[in-house]
Structure 1
Amino acid sequence: MDEVLLIFGMFLVTFSVRYVLFAAAGKVHFPGWLNIGLGFVPPAVLTAIAVPAVLMPRGELWLQPDNPWLVAGLFAAIISVWRRDLLTTIVSGMAFFMLLRFGLGF
């Protein structure tokens, strides 16, 4: 019975927080400067996640050319600039990483 109450309590907390945000979504308008600033949030978050994973995959800085995460990341960056397509960048970067890691044994 305690588990059911716990799950129901988690449901209420999660639903109430999300409902309030969805209910206020159309009624709250931010100033233009804040909308511009919020446009930088997704790239900043992705950079904060990707850069440590690429430069420090084993917990310490690894900038040598035998780092498959770094090489595949540079390859994906080149594909991204060249093609300007997110899906192509992700698929080609992951395929190149898999080739380096499992095909060539980096």
Structure 2
Amino acid sequence: MMRTEVVITIVAMAIATFFTRFGSFAIFGSAGISPRLKRFLKHVPTAILTALIAPTLFAPQGYIEISTGNSYLIAGTIATLLAYFRQPPLVTMGGGMVAMLAIRSFGI
């Protein structure tokens, strides 16, 4: 069974997400969004994703580790290269996971 703190956190984040989306409809519903704000908001998902992923790639042990011993960084680099060369998301994610599995299994 899940711990109480985990359930409370999940429910609180669901409520926060709901009210954030509902609030944006209430604020911008009839007026619309200016082109300048629309350009700004276009980059928010990329910024959030980067903020979530970067610490795991560069500091998996709690300190910055840029070396060949950092399996997260190697697998992330492979996934980044696949994405850069316009591979479909499934190929990009699969490539990163296969790289991590190979590194972990064979100690590459």
TM-score band, normalised by shorter chain:
0.7 to 0.9
Counterpart of 1:7 in structure 2 is none
Note if 1:56 corresponds to 2:51.
no
CA 1:35–1:72: 2 relative to 1, 3 Å: same
Specify the SS of the correspondent of 1:83.
Answer: coil
Counterpart of 1:46 in structure 2 is 49
For 2:39 and 2:103, the matched residues in 1 are separated by 39
Note if 1:74 corresponds to 2:77.
yes
CA 1:84–1:17: 2 relative to 1, 3 Å: same
For 2:64 and 2:25, the matched residues in 1 are separated by 45
Deviation at 1:94, TM superposition (A): 1.4
Aligned amino acid, residue 54 of structure 2? V
CA 1:96–1:30: 2 relative to 1, 3 Å: same
**What is the aligned-residue RMSD (CA, Å)?**
2.7
How many positions carry a matched residue from both structures? 94
CA 1:18–1:34: 2 relative to 1, 3 Å: closer
State which drifts further: 66-75 or 87-96: 87-96
Deviation at 1:21, TM superposition (A): 3.4
Unaligned runs of 5+ in 1: 1-9
Which structure would you say has the larger Rg?
A: 1
Counterpart of 1:89 in structure 2 is 92
Note if 1:27 corresponds to 2:30.
yes
Deviations 1:7-62 (A, max 9, x none): xxx8xxx4x83784386364341110000000000000011111110000000011
What TM-score results when the alignment is normalised by the length of structure 1?
A: 0.73
For 2:20 and 2:40, the matched residues in 1 are separated by 23
Aligned amino acid, residue 102 of structure 2? L
Within the candidate set 12, 17, 36, 2:19 is matched to 17
Unaligned runs of 5+ in 2: 1-10
